[in-house]
Structure 1
Amino acid sequence: MSRIDRVPLVHASLGEQELAAVAEVFASGWPAGQGPKGKALETQLKERYGAGGAVAVSNCGAALHLAMLALGVKPGDEVIVADYTFPAPAHAVRYVGAVPVFADVRADTGTIDPQAVAELIGPRTVGVIAVDTVGMPADYAQLQTIADRHGLFVVEDAACAVGATYQGREAGALAEVACLSFHGRKGATSGEGGALIAADPAVAEDARLRSSFGIGSIFDQSQIVGLPIPEFTEIGYNFKLSDIAAAILQVQIGRIGELLQRRDAVAARYAELLGDEELLTLPRVPADRTHAWQSYMVTLDRSVDRAKVATDLRAQGIGCGHGTWATHEQPVFETKQKCPTSADLFRRNLAIPMHAELSMDQVEQVAHTLRTAVRTHTGSVRRAA
């Protein structure tokens, strides 16, 4: 198959505007972190989300780690985390010596089930990390009510959801602390990168200090006349985002509306082409929210052999993936918990190409190939029907 026929699962929308922004950084002489471009990005994010503070960091995992530290999570504490997701929230809880407690998810949205959260709260519970699953915001009104009742914090893992909304508010502004990702498959990207958004300026400042080994911005110190010598007052980390990445993100954040509109069009066309296929369930978006479409995941009928479908798609140059993870089943966490809905989605979801660079011809190619594959690889009971 020729290269032009291939349809990648993901593709970043980077171009001349981003290159020009990088050239400015090269000319400035400061490509490292927490410089002028980093500060400008943080101001842009703070204003966009109406936050008390924003901290640009190396990735969303770093933002989640810093959130746990800034919120005072201690060894032995329990933090309830959404189960059906990339396992970064559970990792962040473990980084600080706390215990992740896995909450099952809604079957229709894949987002954390508030009732499951309520049932898991115990004497050692200190907070909840909700996840906007592959771009779908969670049920924050219900989650916040539960958290307020028990004196818990709520962190929004909005890694996949830049541009999505919930009850008219933008993902990234739906909890007291939110963590964003700017990985290469996200709606706004610098290849790698992340941010912590906090309602409380003190939480943001704590995260900013810890993100730079506990001594703050070397760029700021270099602007002071004299020779200030910083003191290391906290154990910190090297989680800074380079000014090169920050410059790219300033452009990308400004393009979110344009890029999301293109993803919306892809999702709408998939719905038209695949909505009548009985062997697939398409994503459902509740009326009170919008989707960022970081991924487009279909749920296969239980009679369909997902591995064989994926093999067919990839053999024809169409990218696909398993979706995301049932975290409680991962060996590293050694838990005896059960999250049956998450486990079921983990086995039946299939991610198909979704990005702003897809043409409608490619979308139609994917839909046709997928429909043929699921019908070819369904069980004998379904075939007989």
Structure 2
Amino acid sequence: MDAISMVHASLGEQELAAVAEVFASGWPAGQGPRGKALESMLTERYGAGDAVAVSNCGAALHLAMLTLGVKPGDEVIVADYSFPAPGQAVRYVEGVPVFADVRADTGTVDPQAVADLIGPRTVGIIAVDTVGLPADYTELQALADRHGLFVVEDAACAVGATYQGREAGSLAEVGCLSFHGRKGASSGEGGALIATDPAIAHHARLLASFGIGSIFDMAQVVGLPISEFTEVGYNYKLSDIAAAIMQVQLGRIDQLLERRRAVAARYAELLADEELLTVPHVPEDRTHAWQTYMVTLDPSVDREGLATKLRAQGIGCAHGTWASHVQPVFESKQVCPVSADLFQRNLAIPMHAELSMDQVERVVDVLRPALRTNASSTRSLGPA
């Protein structure tokens, strides 16, 4: 029987045609006409002051820290249960990431945990839309306003999700997107910085191109313009090849999200009565982008043994995401017990727009008996 992959990018003939157009144009590099068109598309979609297409979401987070003025020694409160990119972005500018614990039901940052960590050196908050589910931005923004802090939304996993009717990526003064291959809309790699203030985006665009801006624009000037390098910049440009793919993907996003939602709904239906795991919780005031379908296992289940069993039968799976505070790179002495618990008990199972309902049912048919096989004998499980 064919394997069922955990992730699969929905790329096809439309994307290939867009790439062929870029090849014919003669400008495959970054900050060219397709990149500009993508930025305009993003600005309109998110109702932003401006948008900057970049090489990945990590670059967007780094640019956010730079343009928001984080200095060495400044503390930025970071959602703990996440791919560690937000904490690393703070470290890039020699700031101090202070990790905030998360809600047990959603895995998103707990506003009360954030409030408890605000101190004299705190300058901002990075919230994370955990595997596609937006955080509690009303409460977080109220805290930020009260203490004069910035808020950055790491919406890497959440393109297409909403919070109180607003699009994920537009829920803070700066939003950071990812177009990685496992996201709901993907160009293989890529990202964007979405800013309410056009000045922040303008600065980010310069820094993303070594501090000198678009070489494509300079090539259109009659004469011989010679740029001056006035500050240290980076090579964070998104190629026009990737930008063209993303334009097509954004045009398809509603269709792709609808498929993911159907998969999530079927999993929830099939697993509703399963006592050895809990399916994802989505509060009524938001929608999920379903980058990942992550179940929380009962403490009696041996996750490694379960994963081994699933993979042996061709079912892709992974641990979910990370408790950042326990990663050696941060040398953190903080304790985030909820995040640490989710890090040990969550399991990601196949989720992408190409899954058929037959495949979803096969995943569950393999998962159910494997749960019982890998649960401790101290729990009364009934027949396998």
**1:273-310 deviations in Å (ceiling 9; x for gaps):** 11100001000000000000000000000000000000
Distance 1:377 1:45, change over 3 A: same
Pair 1:331 & 2:328 matched: yes
Amino acid at match of 2:68: L
2:67 maps to which of 45, 48, 70? 70
Once the 2 structures are TM-superposed, how far is the Cα of residue 381 of structure 1 from its aligned partner? 1.3
Mapped to 2, the partners of 1:201 and 1:275 lie a distance apart of 46
Alignment size in residue pairs = 382
- Alignment partners' CA distance in 2, 1:344 and 1:217: 46
Q: How does 1:1-385 map to 2 (within 5 A)?
A: 2=1, 5-383=2-380
State the TM-score, normalizing by the size of structure 2: 0.99
Alpha-carbon RMSD: 0.7
Cα pair distance change 1:210/1:307, threshold 3 Å? same
Q: Deviations over 1:195-216 (max 9, x none)?
A: 0000000000010000000000
Do the aligned partners of 2:160 and 2:257 also contact (CA within 8 Å) in 1?
A: yes
* Residues 156-193 of structure 1 deviation map (CA, whole Å, 9 limit, x = unaligned): 00000000000000101100000000000000000000
Task: Provide, for residues 129-176 of structure 1, a one-character-per-residue CA deviation record: whole Å limited to 9, x for no partner.
Answer: 000000000000000000000000000000000000000001011000
CA change 1:379–1:25 in 2 (3 A) is same
Q: 1:48-102, CA deviations, whole angstroms, 9 ceiling, x for partnerless residues?
A: 0000010000000000000000000000000000000000000000000000000
The separation in 2 between residues aligned to 1:372 and 1:268, in whole angstroms, is 21
**Matches of 1:226 and 1:260, distance apart in 2:** 48
Tell me the distance in 2 between the aligned counterparts of 1:367 and 1:280. 12
For the residue of structure 1 that corresponds to 2:338, the secondary structure is: helix
Query: d(CA) in 2 for partners of 1:335 and 1:26?
Result: 47
**Letter of the aligned partner of 1:212 in structure 2?**
S
Please give the alpha-carbon distance, in whole angstroms, between the structure 2 residues aligned to 1:74 and 1:262. 43
In the TM superposition, structure 1's runs of 4+ consecutive aligned residues that sit over 6 Å from their partners are: none
**Secondary structure of 1:382's match?**
coil
CA distance in 2, matches of 1:52, 1:384: 55
- Note the alpha carbon deviations across 1:326-348, whole angstroms, 9 max, x for none: 00000010011000000000000
Deviation at 1:39, TM superposition (A): 0.2
**3-state DSSP of counterpart to 1:97:** coil
* Cα 1:289–1:228 shift into 2, 3 Å: same
Shift of 1:375: 1.0
Letter aligned with residue 40 of structure 1: A
Letter of the structure 2 residue corresponding to residue 43 of structure 1 = S
Q: CA deviation at 1:372?
A: 1.0
Structure 1, residues 239-276: CA drift from partner, whole Å, max 9, x if none? Answer: 00000000000000111100000000000000111110
Q: Does structure 1 conserve the Cα–Cα contact (< 8 Å) formed by 2:372 and 2:381?
A: no
Amino acid at match of 2:163: Y
Aligned amino acid, residue 364 of structure 1: E
The two structures have a TM-score, normalised by structure 1, of: 0.99
Deviation at 1:383, TM superposition (A): 3.4
- The Cα offsets for residues 108-138 of structure 1, whole Å up to 9 and x where unpaired, read as 0000000000000000000000000000000
**How many Å apart are 1:19 and its aligned residue?**
0.3
Distance 1:70 1:111 in 2: 25
Q: Which whole-Å CA distance do the structure 1 matches of 2:36 and 2:335 have between them?
A: 43
Query: Identity of paired residues, percent?
Result: 80
**Structure 2 counterpart of 1:301, one-letter code:** D
Q: How many Å separate the matches in 2 of 1:235 and 1:279?
A: 52
Distance 1:377 1:86 in 2: 27
Q: CA deviation at 1:380?
A: 1.1
Tell me by how many angstroms 1:368 deviates. Answer: 1.1
Shift of 1:384: 6.4
Q: Distance in 1 between matches of 2:367 and 2:154?
A: 31
In the TM superposition, what whole-angstrom CA distance separates every residue of 1:341-378 from its partner, at most 9, and x where no partner exists? 00000000000000000000000000111111111111
Change in CA separation of 1:384 and 1:38 when aligned onto 2, cut-off 3 Å: closer
The separation in 2 between residues aligned to 1:104 and 1:254, in whole angstroms, is 36
What 5-or-longer segments of structure 2 have no aligned partner? none
Give me the whole-angstrom Cα distance separating, in 1, the residues matched to 2:332 and 2:29: 40
* One-letter amino acid of the counterpart of residue 16, structure 1: E
Distance (Å, rounded) in 2 between the aligned partners of 1:29 and 1:141: 46
